[in-house]
Amino acid sequence: MMPAEFDVTGKVVLITGAARGIGKGIAQVLAEAGADIALNALTNKYVNDTAADIAKASGRKVVPVIADVTKPDDVRRAVDSVLNTFGRIDVLVNALGDSIRKPLAVLPGKEDVAAVTDDELRFIMDINLTEALLCTRAVGPHMLARQSGKIINIAAWTAHQGGRDMVLYTTAKTALAGFTRAQALEWAPYNIHVNAIAPGMFPDVVTSGEERMKQSAHRALQTVPLRRPGRLREVGLLALYLASGASDYMTGQTILLDGGLGL
């Protein structure tokens, strides 16, 4: 029998960037553990099918929430929609993110590799950092009024060890880890826990395709001490711990889940 502290039955979880990848993996595990889920995505392309599949497999209520969570007005509408549908938000998972492999400026001897553009700079910072700030701010009044809540930010192993050609992504995720610490301290008196997961290599066959999944497995064999990429479900299992009462004495932490990649 599962320890009672891990029970999330009936809790309402809002997950951003949840149509695919890590967000989807977290949604699957939390729904399986008894939570009702609001799945955020920018478009309907994947999220409707994802929501239907998770609802069917878990028997829980799973609803799609279409919004651009890098935009303040969209975020407010999304949070209001979830509150109107479920009546509360117990857990917020800021899982939206993306990376780009480009140097900050053109490097000598590598003039054929373009540097990041202004639009790319704003995009990477917004999708990895701004969305978490906006969504946390939007759910804040609700959680503060109830004096209860769990916030889980999805950082990255590069927040602990820089990645080549990933200056913007590393900067945004490092800032996200700092935000996690600061917000945890600010809201600790109100029984709101803020933690982060820093995943390593977690490819998704839906976005990567079979061939790139094979390439990721080969690369992990060469670079990851545990000699394999991560499985999306494994992030979900750690998120379950952070979303549940089992983690009630933890806040402000960024937990590496990377197979030893950052060692």
Residues identified as active-site: 169
| Paired tokens of 182 | 């600061």
Q: Which residue has the tokens 């080969």?
A: 218
**Nearest CA-CA partner of 67 in 142, 123, 135:** 135
State the DSSP H helix or E strand holding residue 210, giving kind and residue range, or none if neither.
Answer: helix 205-223
Owner of token pair 């402000």: 252
With 0-12 CB in 10 A as exposed, 13-18 as middle and 19+ as buried, what is 240? Answer: buried
- Taking alpha carbons only, the member of 45, 43, 15 closest to residue 29 is 15
Nearest to 101 by CA among 54, 166, 173: 166
Sheet holding 12-15, edge to edge: 62-66, 36-41, 12-15, 91-94, 149-154, 192-199, 254-257
CA 36/CA 218 separation, integer angstroms? 36
Radius of gyration of the chain (CA): 18
In sequence order, what are the beta bridge partners of 255? 197
| Distance separating alpha carbons of residues 259 and 262, to the nearest angstrom | 8
From the list 81, 39, 44, the residue with the least C-alpha distance to 60 is 39
**What residues form DSSP beta bridges with 63?**
38
